[in-house]
Amino acid sequence: MAKIKIENVVASTALGDELDLQAIALALDGAEYEPEQFPGLIYRLKEPKTATLLFRSGKVVCTGAKSLGEVKVAIHKVAKQLQEIGMKVTLEPKVEVQNIVASSDLEQEINLNAIAISLGLEKVEYEPEQFPGLVYRLDEPKVVILLFGSGKLVCTGAKKPQDADDAVAKISEELKSAGLLR
Protein backbone atom coordinates (compact mmCIF):
# COMPACT_ATOMS: atom_id res chain seq x y z
CA MET A 1 0.00 0.00 0.00
CA ALA A 2 1.08 3.58 -0.65
CA LYS A 3 3.04 5.20 2.18
CA ILE A 4 1.42 8.26 3.73
CA LYS A 5 3.32 11.29 4.99
CA ILE A 6 1.61 13.76 7.29
CA GLU A 7 2.46 17.26 6.06
CA ASN A 8 0.44 19.41 8.46
CA VAL A 9 -1.78 19.04 11.51
CA VAL A 10 -4.04 21.96 12.39
CA ALA A 11 -5.51 21.83 15.88
CA SER A 12 -7.29 24.23 18.21
CA THR A 13 -7.74 24.65 21.94
CA ALA A 14 -8.39 27.31 24.55
CA LEU A 15 -5.68 28.39 26.97
CA GLY A 16 -7.82 30.67 29.08
CA ASP A 17 -10.72 33.10 29.19
CA GLU A 18 -8.90 36.10 27.78
CA LEU A 19 -5.39 36.84 26.58
CA ASP A 20 -3.72 40.25 26.56
CA LEU A 21 -2.19 40.02 23.09
CA GLN A 22 -0.41 43.38 23.36
CA ALA A 23 1.38 42.29 26.56
CA ILE A 24 2.26 38.92 25.00
CA ALA A 25 3.63 40.63 21.86
CA LEU A 26 5.89 42.79 24.02
CA ALA A 27 7.05 39.93 26.25
CA LEU A 28 7.69 37.12 23.75
CA ASP A 29 10.57 37.42 21.30
CA GLY A 30 9.43 36.90 17.74
CA ALA A 31 5.71 37.29 18.44
CA GLU A 32 3.94 39.07 15.57
CA TYR A 33 0.89 41.15 16.42
CA GLU A 34 -0.63 43.60 13.97
CA PRO A 35 -4.34 43.88 14.88
CA GLU A 36 -5.11 46.06 11.86
CA GLN A 37 -3.89 43.23 9.59
CA PHE A 38 -5.08 40.17 11.54
CA PRO A 39 -6.91 39.86 14.89
CA GLY A 40 -4.59 37.20 16.30
CA LEU A 41 -1.02 37.10 17.49
CA ILE A 42 1.31 34.81 15.53
CA TYR A 43 3.99 33.02 17.49
CA ARG A 44 6.39 30.64 15.76
CA LEU A 45 8.39 27.92 17.45
CA LYS A 46 11.53 26.43 15.94
CA GLU A 47 11.08 23.12 17.78
CA PRO A 48 8.64 21.68 16.90
CA LYS A 49 8.44 23.88 13.80
CA THR A 50 4.94 25.31 14.24
CA ALA A 51 3.01 28.56 14.17
CA THR A 52 0.57 29.22 16.98
CA LEU A 53 -2.19 31.78 16.53
CA LEU A 54 -3.40 33.26 19.79
CA PHE A 55 -6.65 35.21 20.01
CA ARG A 56 -7.93 37.61 22.66
CA SER A 57 -10.74 35.16 23.49
CA GLY A 58 -8.12 32.67 24.76
CA LYS A 59 -8.60 30.43 21.72
CA VAL A 60 -5.47 29.08 20.10
CA VAL A 61 -4.81 27.45 16.73
CA CYS A 62 -1.60 25.51 16.12
CA THR A 63 -0.49 24.78 12.57
CA GLY A 64 2.56 23.30 10.88
CA ALA A 65 2.98 20.28 13.15
CA LYS A 66 3.67 16.87 11.60
CA SER A 67 1.81 14.91 14.30
CA LEU A 68 -0.66 15.31 17.16
CA GLY A 69 2.29 14.78 19.52
CA GLU A 70 4.05 17.81 18.02
CA VAL A 71 0.86 19.87 18.38
CA LYS A 72 0.65 19.01 22.08
CA VAL A 73 4.33 19.80 22.65
CA ALA A 74 3.99 23.15 20.84
CA ILE A 75 0.85 24.19 22.72
CA HIS A 76 2.39 23.16 26.05
CA LYS A 77 5.55 25.17 25.27
CA VAL A 78 3.52 28.27 24.38
CA ALA A 79 1.33 27.87 27.48
CA LYS A 80 4.42 27.52 29.68
CA GLN A 81 5.96 30.68 28.18
CA LEU A 82 2.70 32.57 28.72
CA GLN A 83 2.60 31.36 32.33
CA GLU A 84 6.19 32.53 32.83
CA ILE A 85 5.24 36.07 31.75
CA GLY A 86 2.36 36.13 34.22
CA MET A 87 -0.62 35.03 32.11
CA LYS A 88 -3.24 32.78 33.67
CA VAL A 89 -3.44 29.85 31.25
CA THR A 90 -4.24 26.14 31.22
CA LEU A 91 -1.06 24.10 30.77
CA GLU A 92 -2.76 20.89 29.55
CA PRO A 93 -5.81 22.03 27.54
CA LYS A 94 -7.99 19.67 25.52
CA VAL A 95 -6.71 19.79 21.94
CA GLU A 96 -9.03 19.19 19.00
CA VAL A 97 -7.68 18.33 15.55
CA GLN A 98 -9.35 20.44 12.86
CA ASN A 99 -7.54 19.13 9.80
CA ILE A 100 -4.75 16.77 8.82
CA VAL A 101 -3.09 17.16 5.43
CA ALA A 102 -1.18 14.12 4.20
CA SER A 103 0.56 13.23 0.95
CA SER A 104 1.21 9.95 -0.78
CA ASP A 105 2.39 8.53 -4.08
CA LEU A 106 0.68 5.78 -6.07
CA GLU A 107 4.09 5.24 -7.73
CA GLN A 108 2.82 5.34 -11.29
CA GLU A 109 1.33 7.90 -13.62
CA ILE A 110 -2.46 7.88 -13.77
CA ASN A 111 -5.01 8.99 -16.36
CA LEU A 112 -7.12 11.66 -14.68
CA ASN A 113 -9.67 11.78 -17.54
CA ALA A 114 -10.35 8.05 -17.22
CA ILE A 115 -10.51 8.37 -13.42
CA ALA A 116 -13.00 11.28 -13.62
CA ILE A 117 -15.31 9.11 -15.76
CA SER A 118 -14.80 5.97 -13.67
CA LEU A 119 -15.33 7.51 -10.21
CA GLY A 120 -18.53 9.28 -11.21
CA LEU A 121 -19.22 12.96 -11.64
CA GLU A 122 -21.11 13.47 -8.37
CA LYS A 123 -17.92 13.01 -6.29
CA VAL A 124 -15.33 14.33 -8.72
CA GLU A 125 -14.27 17.76 -9.90
CA TYR A 126 -11.80 17.83 -12.74
CA GLU A 127 -11.16 20.95 -14.76
CA PRO A 128 -7.57 20.73 -16.02
CA GLU A 129 -7.75 24.28 -17.45
CA GLN A 130 -8.39 25.56 -13.90
CA PHE A 131 -6.33 23.17 -11.76
CA PRO A 132 -4.02 20.29 -12.76
CA GLY A 133 -5.44 17.89 -10.17
CA LEU A 134 -8.61 15.88 -9.85
CA VAL A 135 -10.62 16.62 -6.70
CA TYR A 136 -12.30 13.53 -5.25
CA ARG A 137 -14.63 13.82 -2.24
CA LEU A 138 -15.04 10.71 -0.13
CA ASP A 139 -17.99 10.23 2.21
CA GLU A 140 -16.22 7.71 4.43
CA PRO A 141 -13.80 8.82 5.75
CA LYS A 142 -15.01 12.37 5.08
CA VAL A 143 -11.93 13.73 3.30
CA VAL A 144 -10.95 15.29 0.00
CA ILE A 145 -8.23 13.75 -2.14
CA LEU A 146 -6.38 15.71 -4.80
CA LEU A 147 -5.03 13.31 -7.43
CA PHE A 148 -2.36 14.35 -9.92
CA GLY A 149 -1.33 12.74 -13.20
CA SER A 150 2.08 11.93 -11.72
CA GLY A 151 0.37 9.55 -9.27
CA LYS A 152 1.03 11.86 -6.34
CA LEU A 153 -1.91 12.74 -4.14
CA VAL A 154 -2.84 14.99 -1.24
CA CYS A 155 -5.47 14.08 1.33
CA THR A 156 -7.06 16.90 3.32
CA GLY A 157 -9.85 17.13 5.85
CA ALA A 158 -8.81 14.12 7.93
CA LYS A 159 -9.37 14.31 11.69
CA LYS A 160 -6.98 11.48 12.54
CA PRO A 161 -4.07 9.86 10.66
CA GLN A 162 -6.10 6.67 10.18
CA ASP A 163 -8.59 8.65 8.04
CA ALA A 164 -5.80 9.49 5.58
CA ASP A 165 -4.60 5.87 5.56
CA ASP A 166 -8.14 4.60 4.94
CA ALA A 167 -8.79 7.16 2.19
CA VAL A 168 -5.60 6.31 0.28
CA ALA A 169 -6.33 2.57 0.62
CA LYS A 170 -9.88 3.15 -0.64
CA ILE A 171 -8.88 5.24 -3.66
CA SER A 172 -6.10 2.75 -4.55
CA GLU A 173 -8.60 -0.11 -4.38
CA GLU A 174 -11.20 1.75 -6.48
CA LEU A 175 -8.59 2.57 -9.14
CA LYS A 176 -7.29 -1.02 -9.20
CA SER A 177 -10.76 -2.53 -9.54
CA ALA A 178 -11.48 -0.09 -12.40
CA GLY A 179 -8.26 -1.21 -14.11
CA LEU A 180 -6.70 2.26 -13.77
CA LEU A 181 -3.92 1.29 -11.37
CA ARG A 182 -1.55 -1.70 -11.36
Give the pLDDT confidence of 30-86 residue by residue, as tens digits: 999 999 999 999 999 999 999 999 999 999 999 999 999 999 999 999 999 999 999
Q: What average pLDDT does this structure show over 149-171?
A: 96
**DSSP state, residue 150:** T
What's residue 27's pLDDT?
95
Fold of 9-97: TATA-Binding Protein (3.30.310)
Q: How far apart are CA 45 and CA 160, in angstroms?
A: 23
Q: In the chain, where are the structural domains located?
A: 9-97, 106-177
Mean pLDDT calculated for residue range 163-177: 94
Nearest to residue 56, comparing CAs of 104, 14, 105? 14
Question: Does the reported pTM lie above 0.85?
Answer: yes
Q: Homologous superfamily of 106-177 in CATH?
A: TATA-Binding Protein (3.30.310.10)
User: Three-class SS of residue 176?
Assistant: helix
Listing DSSP states for 128-146 in one string gives TTT-SSEEEE-SSS--EEE
Task: Give, as one character, the DSSP assignment of residue 93.
Answer: P
**Between 15 and 120, the higher pLDDT residue:** 15
Note the pLDDT of residue 121: 80
Nearest to 8 by CA among 144, 143, 101: 101
Per-residue pLDDT of 91-137, as tens digits, reads 999 999 999 999 999 999 999 999 999 888 889 999 999 999 999 99
Q: 9-97 with 106-177: one CATH topology? A: yes
At residue 1 the predicted structure's pLDDT band, cuts being 50, 70 and 90, is low
Contacts 24+ apart (CB under 8 A), 53-58: 54/15, 54/19, 54/21, 54/24, 54/78, 55/19, 55/21, 56/18, 56/19, 56/20, 56/21, 57/14, 57/18, 57/19, 58/14, 58/15, 58/16, 58/17, 58/18, 58/19, 58/89
Predicted local confidence at residue 2, as pLDDT? 75
